[in-house]
């Protein structure tokens, strides 16, 4: 089983979001290669003198990505692992804000009920920190929160 074919795999979330950002007038400066597990900012975009830095995560698969273990089921419940991934993304967002204080920083996740619930539980803090959120749906549509007048509130 190739988990990179799952719509909710991180690389597919990054691709769908980058395409939506381009449709919204953003220029994609860099996009991380998630196949190679490249480190750094997942999406760096610019528009009208603004910089947008995005930390993206996928939703955990029940199976391993490593081809040699692809048929093995992971012991960790994906819902529990998703909370860990959310917290790791939040830490990365805070580090990005510190390193790039003039940039708009955002998190991006596939649109799963678990990520929506975690967002609702942390929304007040994210608003205070100025961290936006993108949720990418299976059909590649994107909901955004905390970006200003065009985002859903």
151 within domain boundaries: no
Report the pLDDT value the prediction gives residue 36, as an integer from 0 to 100. 54
Q: How many CA atoms lie within 13 A of 100 on its CB side?
A: 16
**Per-block average pLDDT, block size 10, for the chain (153 residues)?**
79 96 96 70 95 95 66 71 94 95 97 97 94 97 81 44
Tally of structural domains, the chain:
1
152 within domain boundaries: no
84 within domain boundaries: yes
Domain that holds residue 105: 3-145
| Under 8 Å between Cβ of 11 and 2 | no
141 within domain boundaries: yes
50 within domain boundaries: yes
Q: How far apart are CA 16 and CA 141, in angstroms?
A: 8
- SS3 at position 144: strand
- Domain containing 22 — which CATH number? 3.40.1350.10
Report the pLDDT value the prediction gives residue 150, as an integer from 0 to 100. 45
The first and second tokens of residue 65, run together, are 């990505």
Of 50, 136, 54, whose CA–CA distance to 93 is shortest?
54
Q: How far apart are CA 88 and CA 106, in angstroms?
A: 13
**pTM for this prediction:** 0.86
Report the pLDDT value the prediction gives residue 90, as an integer from 0 to 100. 96
Q: How far apart are CA 4 and CA 12, in angstroms?
A: 8
């Amino acid at each position: 089983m190739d988990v990179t074919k799952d719509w909710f795999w991180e690389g597919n979330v990054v691709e769908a979001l980058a395409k939506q950002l381009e449709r919204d007038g953003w220029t994609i400066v860099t996009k991380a290669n998630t196949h190679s597990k490249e480190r750094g900012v997942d999406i760096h975009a610019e528009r009208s003198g603004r910089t947008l830095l995005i930390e993206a995560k996928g939703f955990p698969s029940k199976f391993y990505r490593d081809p040699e273990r692809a048929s093995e089921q992971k012991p960790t419940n994906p819902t529990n692992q998703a909370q860990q991934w959310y917290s790791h993304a939040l830490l990365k967002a805070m580090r990005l804000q510190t390193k790039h204080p003039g940039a708009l920083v955002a998190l991006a996740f596939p649109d799963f009920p678990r990520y929506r619930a975690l967002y609702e539980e942390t929304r007040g803090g994210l608003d205070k920190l100025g961290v936006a959120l993108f949720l990418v749906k299976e059909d590649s549509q994107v909901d955004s929160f905390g970006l200003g007048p065009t985002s859903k509130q």
